[in-house]
């Protein structure tokens, strides 16, 4: 940055495009490449010939392209489709449930003469400061609640978070005009009608920002799945990735291929490319959807930083 | 409801009257309240395990107490305990200091860039890594570091056994963490920079301040409140780590534990092995108490220095 001094001295604010600006651009381009290149490598590896990967290793410029990895994933990966379904179910239901209950909570704690308001705010704040930790949660959920191998554990514990509650409440307090709510009440609308008819629609930008962050968290969640999920038809995508790391055979196994047949074809399993193809299939949707939600981001993040 | 008289009146009425008046709001708060109660508050009671000899058959409440045996055990096997506490703390420091620094640098760099469209595009790409789970990131890291076929060894003609050498991992994990989080982290600071009054810069220019002086005297000071809040928020997580980073990216390899095992990844490993819950529970209690203690202390300090930036 210091290099810019002389070029930009006495120039208009951010207007003159001096040499310094080009140097800055190049530095930022290099950093961006550092962010993007590892991801691109995986996409390329997914379509690289398996023999080439095995002999000469990962490369950005494969001599021979191939669909075998992707085909193997799509052909043997019945589990992959099941897992896709599970992940989508968890992501959608968790995000919607979370947005609904948190908006309601945020709305009720933003009512000024509600006497429990202070208590409820502190109640929501404490989990950010103190938590039982993974082990306590594990023992309470499985031993006390008797929940094991249950999708509830992948959906509900994550759906209410202090940070998101604060974002939503701050948004209601600052961006939803109190007069609108009052006029609705004067027109005879009850609290529920006011909330669903007036407040919730006006919260759209905040809901989009929080919703996308939640959806990403759900999509990427692997730890709870690893701890709690054992049956194949409840395995989310990330758990599948974790399992693949242990052995790619697991993916093949779960499609009911007899183990004898499996060991016979062991040599022919396109290991590297199909692993990378699986990674591509798992991270693809997030990368595709991201640009559509991007504009809400800065807004949502900024809202969160305003303390509640 | 905003009418001051109505407000006063409501306040003078008794509590139950207020509850009845706000019965809709009570009901609205109920679902999230119950979720927090059942999935955040009740698990806190699980920390009592630190003082119990836990077994599954008796459950958490009926398992017998064993006083401070678990903590004695924790202290007696101090090598593991000290190692993982040290790692947890060390990575927290590196990630927080370097992370904050890079977040701010990237935010200022993009903000200063005159090519606005380019800046936006580059920033969008920089954010992408945060959306990739560590379960997937570990394969990306593997593609780079695998001994025979990894890109790094291929490119530089080396044969480094990255996954066998603990000494490389503080650097590797730091790079992965920064790769993952800096783009995203800078968004927050960028939004603060976007709010700076441009007239301040113009006035500084008239006074003859160069770009560098403008950054030092206008840009950076305006970021201080946000930096304080972010640091404060992160202090509570001082004993918690990005479990995925330490468990997945290292492939939970025992050879690397010296430099990669943190409390969270240890706890996860122990639960999956379902062994040694007493020891783990003692470590967890330590983790929770230290984390909470530190955030209260940090908040107290900030409250003294800059009351407006305190969290509570």
Contact between A298 and B187 (Cβ < 8 Å): yes
Residue among A129, A137, A185 whose CB faces B292 most closely: A129
Cβ-proximal residues to A59 (8 Å cutoff; 6+ apart), any chain: A44, A48, A52, B151, B154
* Chain segment A118-154, per-residue pLDDT in tens: 999 999 989 988 888 899 999 999 989 999 899 999 9
Q: Can you tell me which residue has the tokens 């609308």?
A: A189
User: Is A128–B112 a contact, with Cβ atoms under 8 angstroms apart?
Assistant: no
| CATH code, B69-309 | 1.10.3720.10
User: Is B151–A41 a contact, with Cβ atoms under 8 angstroms apart?
Assistant: yes
Residue B43 has pLDDT above 70, yes or no: yes
Interface of B with A in 25-64 (CB under 8 A): 25-26, 28-29, 31-33, 35-36, 38-47, 49, 54, 56, 59-61
Instruction: Output the CA–CA distances (angstroms, integers) from residue B234 to A88, B65, B95, B97, in the order listed.
Output: 30, 34, 10, 11
Average pLDDT over residues A89-100: 96
Average pLDDT over residues B303-308: 81
What is the ipTM score, two decimals? 0.84
Contact list, B46 vs chain A (CB under 8 Å): 132, 135-137, 139-140
In the structure, what pLDDT confidence band is assigned to residue B9 with cuts at 50, 70 and 90? low
* Chain segment B137-181, per-residue pLDDT in tens: 999 999 999 888 889 998 898 888 999 999 999 999 999 999 999
Please report, rounded to a whole number, the percentage of residues in chain A having pLDDT higher than 90: 39
- pLDDT score at B13: 61
Contact between A57 and B150 (Cβ < 8 Å): yes
Average pLDDT over residues A215-224: 91
Residue among A101, A185, A294 whose CB faces B35 most closely: A101
Identify the CA nearest to A107 among candidates A194, A204, A214: A194
Residue B208 has pLDDT above 80, yes or no: yes
CB atoms within 10 A of CB A294: 15
Please report, rounded to a whole number, the percentage of residues in chain B having pLDDT higher than 90: 36
Contact list, B295 vs chain A (CB under 8 Å): 129
- Residue B152, chain A, CB below 8 Å: the answer is no
A101 compared with B67, residue with greater pLDDT: A101
User: Is A13–B126 a contact, with Cβ atoms under 8 angstroms apart?
Assistant: no
Residue A218 has pLDDT above 50, yes or no: yes
Contact between B186 and B126 (Cβ < 8 Å): yes
Question: By mean pLDDT, which of A21-35, A41-55, A241-255, B57-71 is the weakest?
Answer: A241-255
User: Is A136–B54 a contact, with Cβ atoms under 8 angstroms apart?
Assistant: no
Contact list, A307 vs chain B (CB under 8 Å): 229, 311
Contact between B179 and A290 (Cβ < 8 Å): no
- Tell me the backbone φ, ψ of residue B65, rounded to 5 degrees: -70, 145
For chain B, where do the domains classified as CATH 1.10.3720.10 start and end?
A: 69-309
Identify the CA nearest to A254 among candidates A243, A242, A270: A243
Contact between B261 and B87 (Cβ < 8 Å): yes
- pLDDT score at A43: 93
Residue among B149, B210, B295 whose CB faces A9 most closely: B210
User: Is B140–A279 a contact, with Cβ atoms under 8 angstroms apart?
Assistant: yes
Nearest CA in chain B to A39: B140
Identify the CA nearest to B178 among candidates B241, B98, B75: B98
- Residue B275, chain A, CB below 8 Å: the answer is no
* Chain segment B92-132, per-residue pLDDT in tens: 999 999 999 999 999 999 999 989 899 989 988 998 998 89
Residue A102 has pLDDT above 90, yes or no: yes
The token duo for B45 is 């009671």
Residue A305 has pLDDT above 90, yes or no: no
Identify the CA nearest to A106 among candidates A186, A157, A174, A153: A174
Q: How many angstroms separate the CA of residue A79 from the nearest CA in chain B?
A: 17
User: Is A109–B2 a contact, with Cβ atoms under 8 angstroms apart?
Assistant: no
- pLDDT score at B122: 93
Identify the CA nearest to A57 among candidates A73, A70, A44: A44
* Chain segment A12-47, per-residue pLDDT in tens: 444 557 888 999 999 999 999 999 999 999 999 999
- pLDDT score at A53: 84
- Residue B272, chain A, CB below 8 Å: the answer is yes
- pLDDT score at A14: 46
Kindly report the three-state secondary structure assignment for every residue of chain B.
CCCHHHHHHHHHCCHHHHHHHCHHHHHHHHHHHHHHHHHHHHHHHHHHHHHECCCCCCHHHHCCECCCHHHHHHHHCHHHHHHHHHHHHHHHHHHHHHHHHHHHHHHHHHHHCCCHHHHHHHHHHHHHHHHCCHHHHHHHHHHHHCCCCCHHHHHHCCCCCHHHCHHHHHHHHHHHHHHHHHHHHHHHHHHHHHCCCHHHHHHHHHCCCCHHHHHHHHHHHHHHHHHHHHHHHHHCCCCCCCHHHHHHHCCCCHHHHHHHCCHHHHHHHHHHHCCCHHHHHHHHHHHHHHHHHHHHHHHHHHHHHCHHHCCC
In the structure, what pLDDT confidence band is assigned to residue A10 with cuts at 50, 70 and 90? very low
User: Is A182–B280 a contact, with Cβ atoms under 8 angstroms apart?
Assistant: no
- Residue B226, chain A, CB below 8 Å: the answer is yes
Average pLDDT over residues B183-203: 86
User: Is B127–A290 a contact, with Cβ atoms under 8 angstroms apart?
Assistant: yes
Contact list, A32 vs chain B (CB under 8 Å): 122, 125-126
Residue B12 has pLDDT above 80, yes or no: no
C-alpha to C-alpha distance for A135 and B52, rounded to whole angstroms: 14
Nearest CA in chain B to A54: B149
Average pLDDT over residues A55-81: 84
Write out the H or E segment, with its range, that includes residue A297: helix A271-305
Average pLDDT over residues B183-187: 88
In the structure, what pLDDT confidence band is assigned to residue A264 with cuts at 50, 70 and 90? very low
Contact list, B292 vs chain A (CB under 8 Å): 129-130
The token duo for A57 is 């290793």
Contact list, B124 vs chain A (CB under 8 Å): 291, 294
Average pLDDT, rounded, for chain B: 87
Contact list, A16 vs chain B (CB under 8 Å): 114
Give Rg (Cα) of chain A: 25
- pLDDT score at B252: 85
* Chain segment A274-303, per-residue pLDDT in tens: 889 889 988 888 888 888 877 776 666 665
Count of CA atoms in the C-beta half-sphere (13 A) of A96 = 6
In the structure, what pLDDT confidence band is assigned to residue A155 with cuts at 50, 70 and 90? very high
Q: Please give the model's pTM, rounded to 2 decimal places.
A: 0.85
What domains appear along chain A, each with residue ranges and CATH number?
Answer: 2-67 (no CATH), 71-305 (1.10.3720.10)
Grouping H, G, I as helix, E, B as strand and the rest as coil, residue A65 is strand
Burial of residue B1, with CB atoms counted within 10 A of its CB: 0-12 exposed, 13-18 middle, 19 or more buried: middle
Average pLDDT over residues A161-177: 88
- pLDDT score at A241: 86
Residue among A2, A35, A126 whose CB faces B126 most closely: A35
Nearest CA in chain A to B143: A58
Q: How many angstroms separate the CA of residue A32 from the nearest CA in chain B?
A: 6
Residue among A130, A182, A272 whose CB faces B288 most closely: A130
Contact between B277 and B293 (Cβ < 8 Å): no
Average pLDDT over residues A245-269: 51
């Amino acid at each position: 940055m210091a290099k810019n001094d002389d070029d930009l001295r006495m120039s208009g604010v951010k207007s003159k495009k001096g040499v310094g600006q080009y140097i800055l651009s190049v530095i930022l381009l290099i950093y961006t490449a550092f962010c993007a290149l590892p991801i691109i490598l995986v996409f390329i590896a997914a379509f690289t010939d398996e023999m080439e990967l095995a002999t000469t290793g990962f490369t950005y410029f494969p001599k021979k392209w191939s669909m075998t990895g992707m085909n193997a994933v799509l052909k043997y990966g019945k589990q992959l489709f099941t897992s896709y379904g599970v992940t989508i179910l968890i992501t959608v239901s968790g995000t919607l449930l979370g947005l609904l209950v948190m908006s309601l909570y945020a709305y009720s704690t933003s009512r000024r003469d509600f006497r429990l308001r202070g208590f409820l705010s502190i109640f929501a704040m404490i989990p950010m400061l103190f938590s039982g930790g993974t082990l306590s949660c594990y023992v309470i959920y499985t031993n006390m609640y008797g929940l094991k191998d249950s999708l509830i554990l992948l959906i509900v514990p994550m759906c209410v978070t202090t940070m998101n509650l604060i974002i939503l409440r701050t948004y209601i307090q600052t961006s939803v005009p109190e007069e609108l709510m009052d006029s609705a009440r004067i027109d005879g609308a009850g609290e529920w009608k006011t909330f669903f008819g007036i407040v919730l629609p006006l919260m759209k930008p905040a809901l989009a920002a929080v919703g996308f962050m939640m959806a990403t968290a759900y999509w990427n969640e692997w730890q709870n799945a690893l701890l709690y999920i054992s049956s194949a038809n409840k395995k989310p995508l990330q758990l599948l990735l974790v399992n693949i790391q242990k052995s790619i055979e697991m993916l093949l196994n779960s499609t009911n291929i007899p183990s004898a047949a499996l060991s016979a074809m062991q040599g022919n399993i396109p290991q590297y490319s199909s692993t990378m193809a699986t990674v591509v299939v798992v991270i693809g949707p997030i990368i595709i959807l991201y640009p559509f939600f991007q504009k809400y981001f800065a807004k949502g993040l900024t809202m969160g930083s305003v303390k509640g | 409801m905003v009418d001051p008289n109505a407000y006063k009146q409501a306040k003078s009425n008794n509590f139950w009257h207020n509850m009845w008046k706000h019965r809709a709001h009570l009901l609205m708060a109920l679902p999230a309240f119950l979720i927090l109660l059942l999935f955040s508050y009740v698990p806190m009671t699980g920390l009592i395990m630190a003082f119990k000899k836990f077994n599954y058959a008796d459950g958490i409440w009926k398992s017998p107490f064993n006083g401070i045996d678990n903590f004695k055990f924790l202290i007696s096997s101090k090598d593991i305990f000290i190692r993982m506490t040290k790692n947890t703390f060390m990575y927290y420091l590196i990630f927080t200091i370097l992370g904050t620094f890079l977040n701010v640098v990237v935010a200022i760099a993009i903000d200063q860039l005159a090519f606005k469209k380019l800046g936006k595009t580059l920033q969008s790409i920089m954010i992408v890594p945060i959306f990739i789970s560590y379960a997937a990131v570990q394969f990306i890291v593997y593609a780079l570091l695998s001994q025979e076929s990894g890109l790094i060894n291929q490119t530089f003609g080396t044969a480094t056994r990255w996954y066998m050498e603990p000494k490389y991992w503080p650097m590797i994990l730091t790079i992965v963490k920064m790769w993952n989080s800096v783009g995203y982290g800078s968004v927050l600071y960028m939004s603060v920079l976007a709010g700076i009054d441009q007239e301040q810069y113009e006035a500084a220019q008239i006074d003859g301040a160069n770009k560098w002086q403008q950054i030092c005297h206008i840009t950076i000071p305006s970021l201080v409140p946000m930096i304080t809040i972010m640091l404060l928020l992160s202090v509570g997580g001082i004993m918690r780590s990005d479990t995925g980073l330490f468990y997945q990216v290292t492939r939970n390899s025992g050879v690397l534990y010296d430099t990669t095992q943190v409390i969270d990844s240890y706890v996860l490993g122990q639960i999956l092995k379902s062994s040694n819950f007493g020891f783990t529970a003692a470590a967890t209690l330590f983790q929770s108490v230290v984390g909470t203690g530190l955030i209260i202390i940090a908040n107290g300090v900030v409250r003294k220095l800059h009351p407006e930036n305190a969290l509570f």
